[in-house]
Amino acid sequence: METMMALQWVLDGTLVLALLWLAWRALSSPDLFTAIILFIAFGLMMALAWVRLQAPDIALAEAAIGAGLTGALLLAALARSNDLADRINDDQTTGTGKK
């Protein structure tokens, strides 16, 4: 029983540290693509945290919506933003100035 408690503490401690590290790296990463990928990983680890907190419904919702859908939305927005930036750069360099 003691080893069970110790193992649970190790599991919880590792999960908390991993979540902290992922959040820190995601928020301070210089590259946006890396930041979004780390945020998706953060969402998946949050699903594990929800299971540890005896909330399986939230774990399902977080994995699907929080990690999956938010990650897809963020990546699509990043891709469209980069496309827009490229197009604006092209307009400026060719001098058409079409806004």
Partner 1 sequence: MNSVARSRFSLLFRLMLLLLLLTLAGGLAYAVLSLPDQTVGLSDRVAANMETSGVSNPVTAVLLNFRAYDTLLEMAVLLVALLGVWSLGSAAVHRRVDPEPVLLFLVGVLVPMMILMAGYLLWVGAAAPGGAFQAGSVLAAAGILLLLSGKHFPVRLPGWPLRLVLVLGLGAFVAVGVTLVFANGMLLQYPPGLAGGLILFIEAAATLSIGVTLAALFLGGRPDPEA
Partner 2 sequence: MNSILLYALLGVVLFTLGLHALIVHAHLLRKILAINVMGSGVFLVLVALGVRAPGAPPDPVPHAMVITGIVVAVSATALALALLLRMQAKTGRTRLPVERLE
Q: Which residues bind partner 1 (CB under 8 A)?
A: 28-30, 56-57, 59-61, 64-65, 68-69, 72-73, 76-77, 80
- Token pair for 76: 């699509």
Residue 39 near residue 80, CB atoms below 8 Å: no
- Token pair for 96: 């058409």
Range 47-76, binding partner 2 (CB under 8 A): 49-50, 52-55, 57-58, 61-62, 65-66, 69-70, 73-74, 76
- Token pair for 56: 């399986």
Q: CA-based angle 38:59:75, to the nearest 5? A: 30
Residue 70 near residue 28, CB atoms below 8 Å: no
Contacts to partner 2 by CB under 8 A: 8-9, 12-13, 16, 19-20, 23-24, 26-28, 32, 35-36, 39, 42-43, 46, 49-50, 52-55, 57-58, 61-62, 65-66, 69-70, 73-74, 76-78, 80-81, 84-85, 88, 99
